[in-house]
A and B are shown apart, each in its own frame.
Chain A
Amino acid sequence: MTTATPPRATPGGLALGFLTGGVIGGSLAAFIGGCIVGKASLVVTGLALPAAYGLLFFLGTLPRRARDRAAVPRTALAMIESREAVAGEATEVPVRFDLTVAPDDGPAYRVAIRQGVHLSELPDYRPRGIVVVEYEPERPWKVRIVTRPTPAWEERAADAHLDSAPGPAMTGDARKGCVGGVLTVLGLLFGAASVLLLSGADPFGPDASGAAPQPSGTVVSSTTTVTSSTTVTSATGTVALGAGRSMLDQGELRTAVESLTQDAENRRALTVVVQERLLTIVFAPAGGQVAGFDPRALPFDRVAALVEDAGTTLGTGSPQSWQLTADGLTGRLTLRVMVTGDRGAGSLEADGQGNVLRRNGS
């Protein structure tokens, strides 16, 4: 007879429950939050995290599952000490059996199991009745009543008489209890909160509506995204850069403008507003007789120099924010750079080629 003991809730098992809850909560939060705020990285995280965890879990449990598969169940006779059925609407009801199992090659032992039984078969399982069971020698608490035994075992069961084994009955239910459930829920909440906090995504914030951020006089963006988000409607187009990037970076403004005009080669703009991490283009109405200008014709290479020029020559002090506005309403493209500093604000005006026309200091 084996001396194996039934499983109990272990710290490792509880930690695994917490981790599983964390992965579920984190991946769900990442996927849903990513979809709402339009962050591809979050969506990918939401898909990749459970896949990676599932793969690790699969690899980690390979040895145990191989052991389980290799375990050859043995057949034995058992006596029903008691049974307790839970009635319901379904015809198959869960029944808790208290059995005395009598292996051929070892002493009898008591075990409590749960097994579904069809209502019509319930009278077959009376207390003191003999049944045929299958059990795993390495895990004797894993017992299953054989409802369709072979003729040989059927005959043995019909002729058998067994004595009760002393209790208490071992049980195979690894009960984690309330602690396990609470830890899993805590893990779920922890995972969800961690993802939202680390990513900076606020699916319930103002960006959640999908509306384009409105241009403002200052460029103090609260977004921490590392990618850019693009919004194009029939009237406007907006590109918001993530943290660590600037419209003054080499090629950034040109790329942003092209991303808004790639679907309509001949689309003309009325106004282009550029800030540190935000580009907004107000498009001319389609088919209208408005002059406008081609936004791709802006002097991209001159923008950084103009902003630097405005920040250093207008006497506004240490520059805090800037905004470049390109207008073509009058038919002639005009660039206006406004800067604010600790000593005031000033503006600089340039033509379509980026040549400075006039300066207005503070």
Chain B
Amino acid sequence: MGWHEWLVLWCAVWGAAALVGVGMSLAGLTKAQRTVRLTGRIERVRAPRHGGSRLGGISVVVSYRDPASGQEVTVTNDGERGEMITAAWEGREIGVSHPRGRPHAYRFSNAPEQPSRGLGRPAFALFLVYVGLVVLVAIDRGWPWALIGSGGPPAILGAVQLPWAVRVRNNRLDRLTAMETVPGRVVAVLKDISVDQDDGPITTITPVVSFTTHQGTAVTAHCTSHLPHPAGAYDRDVTVHYTAADPADFTLDRAAEHHSEKLAVAIHALAVALLAATAVAGAVLLRR
């Protein structure tokens, strides 16, 4: 078998996998479709221990109503329970999901989740088909097709999403401007050391900040940016800027957030330009 046959086989296998995935989605058999998604409510936030572990997130007690029995169920984020809860306050709504018929295998998400059709894996399989096709065309018709294939469609996708990214950036900047400011305090600094075979010990420092909003909500949250010398930040007073509608959206440095938001859109635009230039270079080389 030559390269050509191998690539055709590659595309066929991933194409078949994508079809199976789409078929399962249409039949309602994907894992995402068999997941029960509920809305839970944080009933209690346990104070983090200074020097403790960040793993598992902020310890919370969550209650939700079981749709099968109609009863109120109380659970905690003990063990591996999905997304790490990094900002918590009593009354916060979070997502609770579990496989159908297995409520004990519940998982949390930072926000209530929308139903999903489970098309992520088929989409990835399609992407692999596309990669195979690009390589196939590049071998059959010349390597400039690799430039066109790898630059063209991603550039179009990126360009289509650029207005959306700008809109998101503007909304974020508006939210940053409208943020309220309150005093806060670093109530704990969490420390985790893991040992890497090659790099030796790796230390992760996670300060935990606590603040009370103007509405009286006591928020406890991991704060991993814009805090100088985090290892020695325990008991330090800080100024917290937060969004009134969602205190999980907070920062200690609004100016830095402004800057990074603008930078993100610039990087997006630059990436689109680079991808487009790659595709154009491929087209020019083909014409020669």
Query: Contact residues of A with B, CB < 8 Å?
Result: 40, 44, 69-70, 72-73, 88-92, 118, 120-121, 144, 146-152
Pick 14 A–B contacts, CB within 8 A, sort by A: A69-B102, A89-B195, A90-B195, A91-B191, A91-B193, A91-B194, A118-B55, A120-B51, A121-B52, A147-B78, A148-B56, A148-B76, A149-B78, A151-B74
Q: Which residues of A contact B200 (CB under 8 A)?
A: 89
Supposing A92-B192, A120-B51 touch, asked if A149 and B76 sit within 8 A by C-beta, the answer is yes
Q: Which residues of A contact B61 (CB under 8 A)?
A: 150-151
Q: Give A119's nearest chain B residue, CB to CB.
A: B51
Q: A72 touching B104 by the CB < 8 A rule?
A: yes
- Contact among A88, A118, A150, A151 for B52, CB-based, below 8 A: A118
Q: A120 touching B195 by the CB < 8 A rule?
A: no
Q: B104 touching A73 by the CB < 8 A rule?
A: yes
Q: Which residues of B contact A73 (CB under 8 A)?
A: 104
Q: Bound complex: CA of A118 vs CA of B51, how far in Å?
A: 10
Q: Which residues of B contact A118 (CB under 8 A)?
A: 52-53, 55, 192
Q: B76 touching A92 by the CB < 8 A rule?
A: no
Q: Is B31 an interface residue (CB 8 A)?
A: no
Given contact pairs A89-B201, A120-B53, A151-B61, a sample of 5 additional A-B residue pairs in the complex whose CB atoms are under 8 Å apart: A88-B195, A89-B193, A91-B191, A144-B79, A150-B61
Q: Bound complex: CA of A151 vs CA of B77, how far in Å?
A: 13
Q: Which residues of A contact B105 (CB under 8 A)?
A: 69
Scan residues 58-115 of chain B and give those whose CB is less than 8 A from a CB of chain A.
Answer: 59, 61, 74-79, 99, 102, 104-105
Q: Which residues of A contact B236 (CB under 8 A)?
A: none
Query: Contact residues of B with A, CB < 8 Å?
Result: 1, 44, 46, 49, 51-53, 55-56, 59, 61, 74-79, 99, 102, 104-105, 191-195, 200-201
Q: Bound complex: CA of A348 vs CA of B78, how far in Å?
A: 88
Q: How many A-B residue pairs have CB under 8 A?
A: 60
Q: B104 touching A152 by the CB < 8 A rule?
A: no
Q: Bound complex: CA of A91 vs CA of B74, how far in Å?
A: 30
Q: A146 touching B78 by the CB < 8 A rule?
A: yes
Q: A90 touching B201 by the CB < 8 A rule?
A: yes
Q: A91 touching B104 by the CB < 8 A rule?
A: no
Q: Give B1's nearest chain A residue, CB to CB.
A: A40
Q: Bound complex: CA of A347 vs CA of B59, how far in Å?
A: 92
Q: Which residues of A contact B74 (CB under 8 A)?
A: 150-152
The residue in A88, A91, A152 that gathers the most chain B C-beta atoms within 10 A of its C-beta is A91
A96 CB, min distance to chain B CBs, angstroms:
19
Q: Bound complex: CA of A150 vs CA of B77, how far in Å?
A: 10
Supposing A91-B191, A120-B49 touch, asked if A148 and B59 sit within 8 A by C-beta, the answer is yes
Q: Bound complex: CA of A92 vs CA of B194, how far in Å?
A: 8
Q: Give B59's nearest chain A residue, CB to CB.
A: A148
Q: B194 touching A90 by the CB < 8 A rule?
A: yes
Q: Which residues of B contact A146 (CB under 8 A)?
A: 76, 78-79
Q: Bound complex: CA of A89 vs CA of B191, how far in Å?
A: 13
Q: Bound complex: CA of A148 vs CA of B74, how far in Å?
A: 12
Q: Give B5's nearest chain A residue, CB to CB.
A: A40
Q: Which residues of B contact A69 (CB under 8 A)?
A: 99, 102, 105
Supposing A90-B193, A148-B46, A148-B77 touch, asked if A120 and B59 sit within 8 A by C-beta, the answer is no
A215 CB, min distance to chain B CBs, angstroms:
26
- Contact among A44, A91, A150 for B53, CB-based, below 8 A: A91
- Contact among A44, A72, A121, A151 for B44, CB-based, below 8 A: A151
A202 CB, min distance to chain B CBs, angstroms:
23
A7 CB, min distance to chain B CBs, angstroms:
22
B248 CB, min distance to chain A CBs, angstroms:
20
Q: Which residues of B contact A151 (CB under 8 A)?
A: 44, 61, 74
Q: Bound complex: CA of A147 vs CA of B201, how far in Å?
A: 25
Q: Which residues of B contact A144 (CB under 8 A)?
A: 79
B218 CB, min distance to chain A CBs, angstroms:
18
Supposing A69-B102, A91-B192 touch, asked if A148 and B78 sit within 8 A by C-beta, the answer is yes
B64 CB, min distance to chain A CBs, angstroms:
13
Q: A150 touching B76 by the CB < 8 A rule?
A: yes
B123 CB, min distance to chain A CBs, angstroms:
23
Q: Bound complex: CA of A288 vs CA of B52, how far in Å?
A: 78
A335 CB, min distance to chain B CBs, angstroms:
31
